[in-house]
Structure 1
């Protein structure tokens, strides 16, 4: 006769699904980081044996693909106004908001060796906003290259993040005025905001991201107004 513990275990395994496994992995990574995620650790979280997971995900890569699918698939569908620049801006900022909820997602996106269907769907929708706005296929092609990872809501940092308490960082900052005066000048601007500003010392990541995105979109708009073609940029292929 089956005891109560065995019955509970069988019921738990029976209710396990790919969606539950993936969402549990997302929750685990949100709390512990993507580096600590393992099939064994996830199995412990779900209170099942590791082999039970392999009925729903074929491998660690399949698990990561599925996690990315869910995150990208949940990027908010922003309302379209018919004004391409505004619509693209909203779409990219929606992607950024989604990815900021899951700090590990950038590393997962960058680690994928091939685009998942959800990633391709997002790129297709974003490309469609440019084309629907009247941009040529050639200009849109170059635009997507120019946006790069910014289209996913993140960008390459100017400098690697370093804890403020790190002695090496402090020494480098102290040496800036004597050896790198131009960098020292912009560093002072970042560390000392305007007197009437509520911004804390240091760079505002969101403001920096939106500033660069707006620069790109304004430049794209200018090229579109000029009816740009690849022939005008002879050094580009």
Structure 2
């Protein structure tokens, strides 16, 4: 189970490899983006590269290696942002950029959550998250908890967006279809707080409801973090 990052990409002797790890990872990411993560196999990636399945095992010894390469390839699509000196603003940027990355690759969240990110791209982003909360008076466990909470919020928010896209969800059509049932809920009077939301809330009807909900939710998470920071 030695991580692929601790193994040389090519043997010290022998012919020059026909493919690099980056090329293999890029091919696997293309397959996952187009067909879903379940379509990714050693055979399918080999076909994408125009090589034999057996030859692919010269570069990656198991599928877990391939998944690790895919995760890090995505994390290296762009560099993490430079800090600006305001911890809340820095965390907003990190959260927004991470959300955009997850939205580009619907398969990524589930794969990344199942394995620690140890590749260079993943480590650079983790360092950026930790750098944003460094200096706030948190101990190492507190720093991990703060970063973990923020990243879980981002992943959860994106999960809902992916689910809507995958199911062909149309918010306006859904709201219209629930009209008579909504009237029944209101008339029964058993859920007064929900009824108030149904009647008064505007966010569910907005075209940018995901962006708005993400921004508002992120601010509440940051407020919670600020409330538990040690006194200066």
Per the normalisation by structure 1, the TM-score is 0.69
**Mind listing any 5+ residue stretches in structure 1 that lack a counterpart?**
1-12, 194-199, 229-237
Counterparts of 2:151 and 2:75, CA distance in 1: 16
RMSD over aligned CA atoms reads 3.5
Question: Pick from 130, 133, 137: which aligns with 1:135?
Answer: 137
The match for 1:84 is 87
Identify the range of structure 1 (21-30 vs 183-192) with the bigger mean alpha-carbon deviation.
Answer: 183-192
Count residues with an aligned counterpart.
205
Instruction: Tell me the CA shift for residue 21 of structure 1.
Output: 0.8
Kept in 2, the 8 Å contact 1:30–1:102? The answer is yes
TM-score by length of 2: 0.70
The residue matched to 1:71 in structure 2 has which SS?
helix
Q: 1:173 to 1:36 in 2, by over 3 A?
A: farther
**Residues 126 and 191 of structure 1: is their aligned pair in 2 closer, same or farther, counting only changes over 3 Å?**
closer
| Residue 227 (1) aligns with residue 231 (2) | yes
SS at match of 1:218: helix
Q: What per-residue deviation string (whole Å, max 9, x for no partner) do you get for residues 158-198 of structure 1?
A: 9x645548xx99987753453456446545645534xxxxx
| Equivalent-residue separation in structure 2 for 1:120 and 1:97 (angstroms) | 18
Render the CA deviation track for 1:120-148: whole Å, top value 9, x for unaligned.
4432331221113x332264344234324
Q: State the secondary structure of the residue aligned to 1:65.
A: helix
Residue 46 (structure 1) shift: 1.4
Q: Is the 8 A contact 1:87 1:129 kept in 2?
A: yes
- The correspondence of residues 176-191 of structure 1 with structure 2, limited to 5 A, is 176-179=182-185, 182-183=193-194, 186=197, 189-191=202-204
Corresponding residue SS for 2:83: coil
Q: Structure 1 residues 156, 174: closer, same or farther in 2, change over 3 A?
A: farther
Matches within 5 A, 1:1-237: 14-112=17-115, 114-117=116-119, 118-132=121-135, 134-137=136-139, 139-150=142-153, 154-155=157-158, 157=160, 161=164, 163-164=168-169, 174-179=180-185, 182-183=193-194, 186=197, 189-193=202-206, 200=207, 204-224=209-229, 227=231
2:103–2:158 contact (8 Å) kept in structure 1 = no
